């Protein structure tokens, strides 16, 4: 799942204002105006209000020495001022979620999506500069779905994922997040109990080389419309479907 944050910038000249106090602007300075911040997710586009920061995103403007310029740093959920004053030079826009070091322990160990991106931009006297910054998800997620009516045949279904030294048991409403640097990927398994109380443990499957920015949805489905003892497993993401197990016969 790619999550993109677009931040168009407009640099003008004249008076600037920060979130604390007006800054006197000389003729050599420019003015930075953030028009909007848009967030794109699969199936929907969320446009935030003018001069707002995505609630999951912190923003800072860094000078060429790597330090925050004129205190232009804003925590996730903060409201940005309408204008920023900058002298001519090269700057870096840094946008990131604040869970950079804590994401693996979020949500009772299931983790959370983590985002970060940086983009250099140049300010020149009496020039208008636009900067678009896309902020991708750095990790990947795993969820699962069951077919309609599955609970009638299998009242108990336990889905477990193991990756990065963590093991997570999910409901169909939950997602777990992992580090794509581990090319061994994730291993998942299903524990089923049918309506007669019979127990079935489906052989664990491993998906290797997962990519950042994607939520992989494991699909457990009926392989036959009229035979609930035959199941199949696939993984879907974006517009892609990969078959993992063509058919499993339980009994």
CA 123 to each of CA 8, 23, 47, 60: distance values in angstroms, whole numbers, following the listed order: 14, 17, 26, 16
- 211 Cβ contact list (under 8 Å, min separation 6): 140, 180
The whole-model pTM stands at: 0.81
DSSP tag of 150: H
Average pLDDT of span 38-55: 46
Mean pLDDT score across all residues of the chain: 82
Longest CA pairwise span in the chain (Å): 81
Among the residue ranges 10-19, 39-48, 184-193, the one predicted with the least confidence is: 10-19
Q: Is the pLDDT of residue 85 over 60?
A: yes
Q: Is the pLDDT of residue 90 over 50?
A: yes
Radius of gyration of the chain (CA): 24
CA 216 to each of CA 25, 67, 146, 150: distance values in angstroms, whole numbers, following the listed order: 50, 37, 14, 21
- Local structure of 108: helix, strand or coil: helix
Render pLDDT for 141-182 as a digit per residue (tens, 0 to 9): 999 999 999 999 999 999 999 999 999 999 999 999 999 999
Q: How many CA atoms lie within 13 A of 160 on its CB side?
A: 12
Nearest-angstrom CA–CA distance, 85 and 18: 8
| Closest to 241 measured CA to CA, from 217, 209, 221, 215 | 217
- Local structure of 131: helix, strand or coil: coil
CB atoms closer than 10 angstroms to residue 22: 12
Render pLDDT for 175-218 as a digit per residue (tens, 0 to 9): 999 999 998 999 999 999 999 999 999 999 999 999 999 999 99
**pLDDT for the residue numbered 63:** 95
How much of the chain exceeds pLDDT 70, in percent? Answer: 79
Of residues 3 and 147, more confidence is placed in 147
Residue 9's pLDDT band, with cuts at 50, 70 and 90, is very low
| Closest to 247 measured CA to CA, from 203, 181, 211, 210 | 203
Q: How do the domains of the chain map onto residue ranges?
A: 4-123, 140-249
Nearest-angstrom CA–CA distance, 161 and 218: 10
Of residues 8 and 100, more confidence is placed in 100
């Amino acid at each position: 799942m790619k999550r993109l944050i677009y931040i168009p910038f407009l640099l003008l000249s004249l008076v600037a204002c920060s979130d604390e106090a007006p800054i006197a602007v000389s003729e050599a300075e420019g003015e930075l105006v953030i028009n909007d911040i848009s967030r794109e997710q699969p199936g929907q586009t969320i446009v935030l209000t003018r001069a707002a920061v995505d609630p999951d995103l912190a923003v800072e403007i860094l000078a060429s020495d790597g330090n925050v310029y004129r205190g232009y740093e804003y925590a996730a959920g903060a409201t940005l001022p309408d204008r920023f004053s900058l002298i001519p030079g090269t700057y870096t826009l840094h946008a990131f979620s604040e869970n950079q070091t804590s994401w693996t322990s979020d949500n009772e160990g299931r983790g959370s999506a983590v985002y970060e991106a940086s983009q250099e931009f140049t300010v020149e006297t009496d020039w208008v500069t636009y900067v678009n910054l896309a902020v991708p998800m750095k990790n990947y997620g795993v969820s699962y779905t069951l077919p309609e009516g599955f609970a009638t045949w299998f009242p108990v279904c336990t889905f477990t994922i193991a990756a990065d030294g963590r093991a997570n048991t999910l409901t169909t409403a939950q997602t777990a997040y992992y580090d794509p640097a581990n090319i061994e990927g994730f291993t998942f398994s299903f524990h089923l109990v049918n309506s007669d109380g019979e127990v079935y443990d489906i052989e664990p499957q491993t998906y290797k080389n997962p990519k950042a920015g994607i939520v992989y949805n494991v699909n457990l489905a009926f392989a036959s419309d009229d035979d609930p003892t035959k199941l199949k497993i696939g993984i879907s993401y974006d517009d892609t479907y990969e078959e993992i197990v063509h058919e499993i016969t339980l009994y």
